[in-house]
Amino acid sequence: MGLLTEDDRRYSCDVCGRSYRSATALGDHKHKHTGLTVCPLCRRASSNVPNLRTHLRSAVGSPRKAPYECDVCGRRYKHRTSLHDHRQRHDGRTVCPVCGTAASTVYNLRLHLRNVHRLPGEQVRALTGYGARRAPAPPQPVQAAPPSAR
């Protein structure tokens, strides 16, 4: 790859004057001057257009590469568990009831409640419902049978 000749530099940046061989290369360069680019599907910020293109091909991807699709926003995932974690955001289950901070998953919200607000485990479980499916049901009090009348 040699130096660009005068004939090769047909596309110049009007901000900094750098020259490129193609309009695509110039367009990719211009995004450096405007800051971050944002994915139109999931709102993920990217530092440049090529990175955004890669993101759109892989992370959001085709149904074949990422078969699990969010029914709310359309974002796609390769793994069902990743979709489950993402779906919690739409359900509002990852917002701290104490300070309003949003966590990425219920598990991270649980860590936040324990580490930031210093809440005891039973209160964290009550607020998040985390672990409720795995915990055994509390024992029910047993009433003694009334004595039989003889």
For residue 136, what pLDDT is reported?
41
Domain enclosing residue 123, as ranges: 92-130
pLDDT at 118: 93
Residue 75 lies in a domain: yes
Give the model's pLDDT for residue 1: 45
All residue ranges of the chain with pLDDT < 50 are: 1-2, 4, 133-142, 144
d(CA 32, CA 37): 9
- pLDDT at res. 120: 92
Tokens representing residue 59 in the block:
């992370």
Number of domains within the chain: 2
CA separation for the pair 67, 76 (Å, rounded): 7
Q: How far apart are CA 23 and CA 42, in angstroms?
A: 27
- Per-residue confidence (pLDDT) for residue 139, from 0 to 100: 43
Residue 119 shares a structural domain with residue 71: no
117 and 74 within one domain: no
pLDDT value of position 103 = 81
